[in-house]
Structure 1
Amino acid sequence: MSKHLLSLRELDRGEIIALLDRASSYDEAIDLRQRLAGIGVCTLFFEPSTRTRLSFQRAAQRLGADVLGFEAATSSTTKGETALDTFKNIEAMGVRGFIVRHRENGAVAALAEQAEPGTALINAGDGRHQHPTQGLLDMLTIRDWKGGDFSQLRVAIIGDIRHSRVARSDLVALEKLGVTDIRACGPAGLLPDDNTLSACSMVTDDLDAALRDADVVMTLRLQRERMEDGLVDSLDSYHRDFGITTQRLRLAQEDAIVMHPGPMNRGVEISDEVADGPQSVILWQVANGVKVRIAVLERALG
């Protein structure tokens, strides 16, 4: 029986931990090719992507699925075809797994409502709403480096939280796993004005305060279009006030880890020295993305 994954809000703590445990169990030496052998899986991306799209493709290939790649720029959507018609046509070809990225909030859930029984949709990022597999791979990375007890962790989330589906999924997961000290930090114009930050113990534009004694530093991509919206004065001023540098990182715990969902704007939200430094686990996140997406595909279609 297929299972959609549209948001981490759908999962309870036990289900999240079970997915993390399953992801942790995978090893490159294990042959998984019979798990989803012959099942059609499509990466249905209406927005650009590197890490998410390729890691889902890699995960599906490792499970033996027949993988179809879709990119909006070279599809009939440029001729006016709707996302729903695109989805239904591919589904009619016998494809049963869809990994969907879309610019609109709720777009993946809307497609899921129209899916046939036995078809599963996985949200690979919809608007500023949710990015559940990124949330899971971030939790797996934290657990790998900090252990299974999330309740004692101090987590700082830095940057454009208002427009970040990654931050929203991470916040849901952190709360469900028992983190009580969550610090949200960014320019006032880039902080949400809804209840997104209700689980946070601190909401501030003071980066030093957010970083002090933090165990985990999660920095987010500054979406450059926000400068055009007038929400950020300049890249230089953003880096001065909110960029993670080696000096700034000294405020956090000595063994704090630094995370970033990518793509990085080096010299804006994070310096080269930090991105490539010993506390960076950014490439670890990328590797965990494949493991998590194997687990999610097995849950959805296995």
Structure 2
Amino acid sequence: MKHFVSMQDLTKEEILTLVLQANRITENGVKPMLGQYFVANLFFEPSTRTKMSFIVAQRRLGIEVLDFASEISSVTKGESLYDTARTFESIGANLIVIRHQENNIAKKLADSINIPVINAGDGTGEHPTQSLLDLVTIYQEFKSFQGLKVVIAGDIKHSRVARSNAIALSKLGCDIYLTGMDSWHDETLDFPYITMDEAVEMADVLMLLRIQHERHQAHVALDHNSYLQTYGLTMKRENRMKKEAIILHPAPVNRGVELDSRLVECERSRIFKQMQNGVAARMAVIQRVLNQGGKFDEENFSQRQTIIG
């Protein structure tokens, strides 16, 4: 696996390999990689969890992180993204991590340079490392994916997280449902839409999404309390969820909008567990694209085959 830009590119076996590798890292830790490696984190959008967890993952693997901030780089002088990436490649970077507002930019970059590219979020396209950490969190909870009912709720149309997760989870055998405002439906995702009241009663995993105001072409004025009552997870709705069902959210969380603030750290919430798993998930991806992940032994192969059936 040279690049990691889209869940669409991976087979279910490849996805599970990464899930199990990341989970193994959470249980056993990992040794720094042999040799000297340099990474350029090209973040053109604001980020807390994704950027910081990439940096922690890279440093735990013994990788040197090259400093980059778009606002003080040659981008402000008109340099193209391609030339920026080629500059880092030319001075010795072994890996590019890219987060950008343009859809499909990671794939374009991967097709243009000779070092691995990891997609850390591209416009409304995909966010595959977020998806991977979500998969790890679900695996830790249920030890399987086949037949799980997963509901993705919120601003589906503008969410790269929704797209990556819908693709990956459906490959792994989950039943995917979507819910949200009619104007935020994404007809390119071929999964049924249901109401939030239906969602809370059927979901094994309820994945809530932030409203992506910065990606809306026109400003949408919303009353936060009204949105919560109509489309969000209220305390009353949470009380109707299955006993073993869990709540996920990629964060940042708008408390009192997507869900009642009291539910962010409730017993069934795994929101901060997702963040914790983000470091291991990104370590697993980095290992794989730099060919440092090792091979699964027979026990891990058997475990993977059991999960996918």
The alignment's TM-score, normalised by the length of structure 1, stands at 0.91
2:297 equivalent in structure 1:
none
Question: Superposed, which structure 2 residues align to 1:45-124 within 5 Å?
Answer: 45-116=43-114, 119-124=115-120
Rounded to whole Å, the distance in 1 between the matches of 2:200 and 2:97 is: 35
Q: Secondary structure at the match of 2:36?
A: coil
Rounded to whole Å, the distance in 2 between the matches of 1:216 and 1:59 is: 26
Report whether the alignment pairs 1:192 with 2:186: yes
Letter in structure 1 aligned against 2:266: G
Q: Is the 8 A contact 1:128 1:164 kept in 2?
A: yes
Rounded to whole Å, the distance in 2 between the matches of 1:69 and 1:27 is: 27
What is the root-mean-square deviation of aligned Cα atoms in Å? 1.7
1:237 deviates by 2.1
Rounded to whole Å, the distance in 2 between the matches of 1:184 and 1:158 is: 6
1:144 equivalent in structure 2:
140
Letter in structure 1 aligned against 2:38: G
Rounded to whole Å, the distance in 2 between the matches of 1:103 and 1:228 is: 13
1:270 equivalent in structure 2:
259
Q: Secondary structure at the match of 1:122?
A: strand
2:177 equivalent in structure 1:
183
1:112 deviates by 1.2
1:21 deviates by 1.0
Structure 2 residue corresponding to 1:203, chosen from 190, 193, 198 = 193
The structure 1 segments of at least 4 consecutive aligned residues displaced by more than 6 Å after TM superposition are none
Structure 2 residue corresponding to 1:169, chosen from 153, 164, 176 = 164
2:218 equivalent in structure 1:
229
Q: Provide closer, same or farther for how the CA distance between residues 227 and 234 of structure 1 changes in structure 2, counting only shifts above 3 A.
A: farther
Structure 1 residue corresponding to 2:234, chosen from 205, 222, 245 = 245
The alignment's TM-score, normalised by the length of structure 2, stands at 0.89
Rounded to whole Å, the distance in 1 between the matches of 2:34 and 2:252 is: 30
Q: Is the 8 A contact 1:156 1:210 kept in 2?
A: yes
Q: Secondary structure at the match of 2:94?
A: strand
1:282 equivalent in structure 2:
271
Rounded to whole Å, the distance in 2 between the matches of 1:31 and 1:143 is: 20
Q: Provide closer, same or farther for how the CA distance between residues 225 and 114 of structure 1 changes in structure 2, counting only shifts above 3 A.
A: closer
Q: Is the 8 A contact 2:53 2:278 kept in 1?
A: yes
Q: Is the 8 A contact 1:44 1:69 kept in 2?
A: no
1:128 equivalent in structure 2:
124
Q: Secondary structure at the match of 1:52?
A: helix
Q: Provide closer, same or farther for how the CA distance between residues 298 and 36 of structure 1 changes in structure 2, counting only shifts above 3 A.
A: farther
Q: Provide closer, same or farther for how the CA distance between residues 226 and 126 of structure 1 changes in structure 2, counting only shifts above 3 A.
A: closer
Q: Provide closer, same or farther for how the CA distance between residues 224 and 30 of structure 1 changes in structure 2, counting only shifts above 3 A.
A: closer
> Between Structure 1 and Structure 2, how many residues are aligned?
291
Rounded to whole Å, the distance in 2 between the matches of 1:228 and 1:114 is: 30
In structure 1, runs of 5+ residues without a counterpart are none
Letter in structure 2 aligned against 1:274: L
Residues 255-286 of structure 1: per-residue CA shift (max 9 Å, x gap): 21100001111111111111011111001101
Q: Is the 8 A contact 1:37 1:66 kept in 2?
A: no
Rounded to whole Å, the distance in 2 between the matches of 1:227 and 1:130 is: 17
Q: Is the 8 A contact 1:213 1:251 kept in 2?
A: no
Residues 40-93 of structure 1: per-residue CA shift (max 9 Å, x gap): 111111111111111111111111111113221222212221111111111111
Rounded to whole Å, the distance in 2 between the matches of 1:48 and 1:225 is: 11
Indicate the percent of aligned positions where both proteins have the same amino acid.
41
Comparing 93-102 with 206-215, greater Cα deviation is found at 206-215
Q: Is the 8 A contact 2:158 2:215 kept in 1?
A: no
Q: Provide closer, same or farther for how the CA distance between residues 250 and 213 of structure 1 changes in structure 2, counting only shifts above 3 A.
A: farther
Q: Is the 8 A contact 2:213 2:219 kept in 1?
A: no
Q: Secondary structure at the match of 2:193?
A: strand
In structure 2, runs of 5+ residues without a counterpart are 293-309
Q: Provide closer, same or farther for how the CA distance between residues 228 and 129 of structure 1 changes in structure 2, counting only shifts above 3 A.
A: closer
Q: Provide closer, same or farther for how the CA distance between residues 102 and 36 of structure 1 changes in structure 2, counting only shifts above 3 A.
A: farther
Letter in structure 1 aligned against 2:87: N
Q: Provide closer, same or farther for how the CA distance between residues 239 and 176 of structure 1 changes in structure 2, counting only shifts above 3 A.
A: same
